[in-house]
């Protein structure tokens, strides 16, 4: 059984994201930028991750994540996202506050803790940013998502994510009555400026500029 330290887990998670799920190769400098550590430190870490067979590492030529590496990265991502759900849904953190704390929480080493947390949260499939939560075995059930401004007139869906999760944008959404999970229907589209009128939860009608709608991901 491969075991990773917290730092190794963090690196592997970053590498997974940089690999875009497993295709592209990744350079030392890429990882250095992502992790905010010096390239020299990265080289050393890549050697270690290579020895543990979670990446395939060729000196001077970058790396590719392995199948085993993907599996472990997804397990780390799962833990991170479950804690994010907990922080936002139960402890009322806002979306932009959770990342750092969830990172620390996700390094607590207890399998049963994560199982119970998952159960307690009602087996959520998406985190507060709308990103899918892998299951225990690393399987991700990614549902098709579309930008709100690209939906056809009359189509319905559910808000599952935002691209811009800045506090200002979140405050705006809150103000107009939109939120992750809201069921929406496109009531009207104005062609010349791209703005849309949306019915939220079959109750409230709101107007959105193209810029705003283009930051909202909807599951159709």
Which residues in 88-117 contact its own copies (CB under 8 A)?
90-93, 97, 100-101, 104-105, 107-110, 112-113, 116-117
- Our finding on whether 14 is near DNA (CB under 7 A) is no
Question: What is the rounded CA–CA span in Å between residue 13 and residue 24?
Answer: 15
CB 161 within 8 A of CB 129: yes
DSSP code at position 170:
H
Of the candidate residues 2, 40, 108, 220, the single one contacting DNA (CB under 7 A):
40
- Our finding on whether 24 is near DNA (CB under 7 A) is no
Question: What is the rounded CA–CA span in Å between residue 138 and residue 212?
Answer: 33
Strand order of the sheet with strand 196-200? 145-147, 216-219, 156-162, 183-189, 196-200, 204-208
Binding flags for DNA, 48-87, as an x/- string (CB under 7 A): x--------x-xxxx-------------------------
- Our finding on whether 8 is near DNA (CB under 7 A) is yes
Residue holding tokens 């985190």? 127
CB 46 within 8 A of CB 55: yes
Q: Which residues pair with 65 in a beta bridge?
A: 55
CB 136 within 8 A of CB 205: no
Binding flags for its own copies, 114-153, as an x/- string (CB under 8 A): --xx--x---------------------------------
Phi-psi region of 172 (alpha: psi -120 to 50; beta: other; left: phi over 0): alpha
- Our finding on whether 161 is near DNA (CB under 7 A) is no
- Please, which residue, 112 or 193, has the CB nearer to its own copies? 112
Give the one entry of its own copies, DNA, none that residue 148 binds, where binding means its C-beta sits below a cut-off of 5 to 8 angstroms depending on kind.
none
- Please, which residue, 107 or 189, has the CB nearer to DNA? 107
CB of 72 to DNA, least distance (A): 14
Q: Which residues of this protein are in contact with DNA, per CB under 7 A?
A: 5-8, 10-11, 27-30, 32, 36-48, 57, 59-62
């Amino acid at each position: 059984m491969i075991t990773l330290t917290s730092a190794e887990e963090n690196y592997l998670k970053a590498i997974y994201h940089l690999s875009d799920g497993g295709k592209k190769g990744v350079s030392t400098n890429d990882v250095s930028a992502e992790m905010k550590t010096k390239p020299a430190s990265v080289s050393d870490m890549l050697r270690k991750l290579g020895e543990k067979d979670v990446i395939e590492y060729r000196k001077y030529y970058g790396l590719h994540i392995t199948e085993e590496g993907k599996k472990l990265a997804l397990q780390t991502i799962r833990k991170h996202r479950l804690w994010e759900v907990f922080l936002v849904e139960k402890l009322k953190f806002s979306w932009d506050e959770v990342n750092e704390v969830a990172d620390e929480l996700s390094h607590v080493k207890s399998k049963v803790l994560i199982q119970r947390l998952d159960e307690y949260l009602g087996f959520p499939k998406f985190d507060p940013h709308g990103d899918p939560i892998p299951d225990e075995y690393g399987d991700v059930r990614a549902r098709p998502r579309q930008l709100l401004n690209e939906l056809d007139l009359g189509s319905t869906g559910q808000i599952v994510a935002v691209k811009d999760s800045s506090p200002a944008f979140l405050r705006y959404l809150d103000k107009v009555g939109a939120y992750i999970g809201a069921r929406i229907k496109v009531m009207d589209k104005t062609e010349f400026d791209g703005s849309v009128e949306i019915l939220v939860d079959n109750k409230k009608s709101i107007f959105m500029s193209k810029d705003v709608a283009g930051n909202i991901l909807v599951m159709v």
